Structure 1
Amino acid sequence: MMETLICLSAVLALCPVSSLDARHYHYVYEEKNWTEAQSYCREKYTDLVTMETMEDVKMLNDLADTSKLKADQLVWIGLYDDMNSWRWSMSDRKETEFTNWQSGEPNNLDGYEYCVETDPYAVWNDKPCFAANKPVCADVTGQTVTFVFINITMNWTDAQHYCREHHTDLASVRNMIENQKIKGVIPAGEYVWIGLFRDSWKWSDGSKLSFMNWNKDEPDNSGENDTCAAAGVKNSGKWEDGNCVIKRPFICYRAVPKQVVRLKLIKPSSLDLKDPIVLEHMLDQLKQKLKEQGVNGDVKLSWRKQSDGNIFYKEKTEEEKTTPNKNEL
């Protein structure tokens, strides 16, 4: 059911427009594995929780009923490691059906292996992108691909930049024939970068991952299938990776669609409506009014500027409404 807000007759103002983007958070203390928790949140609410700032972390910690949690118990959040999101650096090479992994790879050892190297026999291994290797670049002309070994040691990102600047891109491999061509340019004993990498941690609801709050040495992929994230309520909300099949409490959120709220306010003569401090104070008062009406969760308010750049306009009197503009005469 869509939630709406009551327009307020507040203590200040003229006719501003304020936009609301709110989320309501819900702790679920019934223990489920990560996939079950995701399904539950999507059925009952919107999705597993997403966090964008330290304010979100603090607020969620404050909302928790710690009496319902075991000592040092973690709770599932909506962050997960997509182990199957491998793709090529070269934009026109999306095919990843062909692979030539070493036995037991990719294994994401220590939780940071998001890029791919090959051994001298062109057998692949996932590896941290910050590691140092020499790359193999590709020159593409029409349907013709030529592979070039670069005798410069660099991390994967620098290798990508180098290949894009001096060649076409880091090498991509569509079949065994191309893999054997790469093997032919690798000097004996060298391990080299190729253009395969993967997007790692993602939010369940598809939000961009722009904020992280990992605990020290996390994520570490210390156990099998440690591809789901949980937060510790009693350790400042720090995140840890964990086995997705473990049953834990979890946090859901329900999205409240952005609303435009018009407020008719009475402006004291001494009030400067262009002063940023005054505008911020007004928003704080409006947020408090919303809380008093039972609107909880992460409520964000902001002023919307009109086409002339102003936030406010003076309401016309009945006489002004009926008097023609002299430009219209």
Structure 2
Amino acid sequence: MLKVTIHPHINRLLPLIIWLRVTKAMDDVCLIPLPNSYYITEVRLSWSKARSRCRSFYTDLAILSGIWENSNAQRLLTPDVPAWIGLSRNTWSWTNLNPSRFRNWLREETSDPGHDCALINPSALYRWEEENCSTTLPFLCYSDDDQTTAGTL
């Protein structure tokens, strides 16, 4: 009798492989899922519109509250294309209203008027930068629900 063992890493990748095969035929789907429930879209929106879109399909803009989350988000990003994350300023807090304790800024925070939203920048070693919230960029979403279904952002 032949016994086949599948490596645990392959088991974790199977949903991604199946998702990619299913969506290959769907031109309007533009999300790439990761096991930790981060998603990226190439659609370019302002920070507030990106947040609304993430909330419609998932939970919110990505919260990168530690080095592990920041590293996982890096795998989704296209080189040289920054993306919105769920960090904005009054006192730099995440969209879930938690303060930003993990810091990954390219430069010390400045007080540039209108630069009240944060992006992650692959060209700057995946550091965060301040940007005008009306700038249109791709964006990272997250979901804390394993049952999320793929959809068009």
| Both structures adopt the same fold (TM-score exceeding 0.5) | yes
Conserved? CA contact 2:38–2:140, under 8 Å: yes
Conserved? CA contact 1:61–1:236, under 8 Å: no
Q: 1:221 aligns with which of 98, 102, 111?
A: 111
| Pairing 1:310-321 to 2, within 5 Å after superposition | none
Cα 1:29/1:234, change in 2 over 3 Å: same
Q: Which amino acid aligns with 2:63?
A: T
Cα 1:205/1:23, change in 2 over 3 Å: farther
Q: Which amino acid aligns with 2:58?
A: Y
Q: 2:88 aligns with which of 80, 86, 98?
A: 80
Match of 1:205 in 2: 96
Structure 1 residue 227 displacement after superposition: 0.7
Unaligned runs of 5+ in 2: 1-7, 9-34, 147-153
* 2:134 pairs with 1:245: yes
Match of 1:28 in 2: 41
Match of 1:38, SS state, is helix
Measured in 2, the distance between the counterparts of 1:58 and 1:80 equals 20
Q: Which amino acid aligns with 2:106?
A: N
Match of 1:210, SS state, is coil
Measured in 1, the distance between the counterparts of 2:120 and 2:75 equals 13
Conserved? CA contact 1:25–1:49, under 8 Å: yes
| Pairing 1:294-309 to 2, within 5 Å after superposition | none
How many percent identity over aligned positions?
Answer: 27
Structure 1 residue 208 displacement after superposition: 4.0
Match of 2:25 in 1: none
* 2:65 pairs with 1:48: no
Conserved? CA contact 1:77–1:251, under 8 Å: yes
**How far does the alpha carbon of each residue in 1:109-154 deviate from its partner, in whole angstroms, 9 at most, with x for none?**
xxxxxxxxxxxxxxxxxxxxxxxxxxxxxxxxxxxxxxxxxxxxxx
Match of 2:120 in 1: 231
Conserved? CA contact 1:77–1:250, under 8 Å: yes
Conserved? CA contact 1:221–1:241, under 8 Å: no
Unaligned runs of 5+ in 1: 1-10, 12-21, 67-71, 83-199, 258-329
* 2:70 pairs with 1:60: no
Which structure has the larger Rg? Answer: 1
Match of 1:234, SS state, is helix
Q: Which amino acid aligns with 2:47?
A: W
> TM-score with structure 1 length normalisation?
0.32
Q: Which amino acid aligns with 2:84?
A: W
| Pairing 1:1-329 to 2, within 5 Å after superposition | 23-66=36-79, 72-82=80-90, 200-217=91-108, 219-222=109-112, 224-256=113-145
Measured in 2, the distance between the counterparts of 1:23 and 1:256 equals 10
Measured in 2, the distance between the counterparts of 1:56 and 1:77 equals 11
Measured in 1, the distance between the counterparts of 2:114 and 2:139 equals 18
Greater fraction of residues in strand: 1
Structure 1 residue 54 displacement after superposition: 1.4
**How many residues in Structure 1 have an aligned counterpart in Structure 2?**
114
Match of 1:162 in 2: none
Q: Which amino acid aligns with 2:95?
A: S
